[in-house]
Each structure stands twice: as structure tokens, then as C-alpha cells.
Structure 1
Amino acid sequence: MKIRVVSVPVGDQEKALQFYTKKLGFVKKLDIPLGEGSRWLTVVDEEEQDGPEVLLEPAPNHFEPAKTFQKALFDAGIPWTQFNVDNVDTEYDRLIQLGVEFSVKPTVMGTAKVAVFNDTCGNNIQIVEML
């Protein structure tokens, strides 16, 4: 088994694409129309374009329980997913300069340093540096 695609629920795929590419630095890999305004829209790490893809999934638009679950996680401050980074402080500073809002500033937790930001699409996303 291999992990090829993980999904992040988004209400507006175009808004998500702009955030995930322009602010986070991912690159668009696939953009396939699925009908009814939905797309199979994935982004990847620019340095690992054959690596795992993040699907910007329009699930909250089509399945009310998905929207309820996403909102409950967000309101509780629980990250939907996490992305590893080489240096949390450096990435935090870069993203702050781009206007990204953090709910958790860089914090050491055991053998990791973490920070949590709002992806503007209804999700808390955690960045992690292993110490």
C-alpha cells in the first residue's frame, strides 16, 4: 500500500487553490472537472511532484455531515491535518508575512515543535518540525 492522495475539505475550491499555491507554496497537479462545479483538484509539494497529493475536496458542499464535522473540528481548534516542515519558526515567519492567521504560535511539544494556522477554507492546519 502507498499513500497517494489525502483530502482536505474546502467550501470553495478556487479559493483553496489560491491559498494552497500562493501562500503555502504547493503546485497544482490535477484539475479535472467532475460536473456540477466540482473538480478533482490536487496540489503537491513543488520538490516532490510525484509524491502524495492533497485533494482540495468539495465534500462540505455535497454532504452536510462533512460540513458539520469540519466545523466542529475547526471550532474546537483541532487541526484537520498536518504538514511537516524543516523549521517551524522560519515557516511561521514566512506565512505571517503573507497574512496567514495562526491560532497556535510555534510551541515545543515533546520531540516536536508545532504551530497551527487557519487555511481560510474552514480548516486548522498544523505544521510540525521534528526536533
Structure 2
Amino acid sequence: MITKMTHVSIHVLNQDSAFDFYTNKLGFKVITDVPMGEDGRWLTVCPPDQPGFEIILSPISKSMYSSETAEMLKELVSKGTFGVGLFTSKDIFATYEELKAKGVEFTKPPRKEFYGTEAIFKDDSGNWFSLAQLG
């Protein structure tokens, strides 16, 4: 029986830039940062209050995919094709203003929805996330 999920992988276009975005703009903590040969590094981060869940900032490499597939995947990521997940906040309006001030791009400002209040933002690669205050 599956008991929990501990890691999820997000494709990023540049690990150094993603490192800066997730740690300095979103305020995430680095869990692991070790070299992985030619393909960058094993880099995981987590929201500060959720240390048991690691987000792998995974570069799109030609050792994992064919050259053609890697290029297509990079293009899809940069176009904002992938909605990767949902983060929550206790005060979405304050979090929205804080992240905007740090340069985070929002494609939807906070708006009341049937499930709570939600905003949508993009990471530096183009992946988009929901930011919600539920309830």
C-alpha cells in the first residue's frame, strides 16, 4: 500500500536560475544539492513548513531524453504548457504582494473561487502554479 509521496520532479530550463527563483523569491529551503555529472545536479527544495516533501528541480537533459524530445520539452516548458501544482497560503493577499515585489510573474491575481481564493504564477522556466487560500 502506498503511504505518501515524498518527491516530485519539476522540469526546469536552468538549474542555477531555478535555484535562485525557488529559494530567493519563493523562500523555499534547499534539502539536497549535489553534483550529478554532466547533467547538472540533484537539487531538491521544499516549502519551509513542509520538510518531508521535496521538489526536484530537474534539468531537461539529453541523457534522459533524445535530443529531439529534450528540445520539444524545453519549448513546451518555456511556453507555460505545464500546470505543475498548488501551493497554499494563510494570507493569499499578503503572499501575492510579497511575491510580486520579488518579481514573481502572476498571470491571475487573487480571485475568489468556489473553493477559496486563488492566484496563478509562473516560475522562471514557465511552469505555472496555483497559489490558494482554501476555505
Q: TM-score, normalised by structure 2?
A: 0.83
Structure 1: runs of 5+ lacking an equivalent: none
Which residue is equivalent to 1:14? Answer: 16
Distance 1:90 1:108 in 2: 15
Task: Return structure 1 stretches of 4+ with deviation > 4 angstroms.
Answer: none
Measured after TM superposition, the shift of residue 68 of structure 1 is 4.8
Question: Percent identical across equivalent pairs?
Answer: 32
Which residue is equivalent to 1:39? Answer: 41
Aligned-pair RMSD on alpha carbons? 1.8
Deviates more, 1:37-46 or 1:18-27: 37-46
SS in 2 for 1:106: strand
Letter in 1 for 2:7: V
> Contact 1:82/1:127 (CA < 8 Å) preserved in 2?
yes
Measured after TM superposition, the shift of residue 71 of structure 1 is 4.5
> Contact 2:31/2:46 (CA < 8 Å) preserved in 1?
yes
Distance 2:73 2:4 in 1: 25
Give the number of aligned pairs. 126
Distance 1:2 1:68 in 2: 32
Structure 2: runs of 5+ lacking an equivalent: none
Which residue is equivalent to 2:123? Answer: 119
Distance 1:122 1:26 in 2: 18
Please list the CA deviations of residues 83-130 of structure 1 after superposition, one character each: whole Å capped at 9, or x if unmatched: 111121111011111121110010112022111112111211211110
Please list the CA deviations of residues 30-81 of structure 1 after superposition, one character each: whole Å capped at 9, or x if unmatched: 01211104111000122333x20111011x3333253354346x15xx6222
Distance 2:44 2:74 in 1: 20
Q: Name the larger-Rg structure.
A: 2
Which residue is equivalent to 2:95? Answer: 91
Letter in 2 for 1:53: E
Distance 1:45 1:120 in 2: 17
Which residue is equivalent to 1:55? Answer: 56
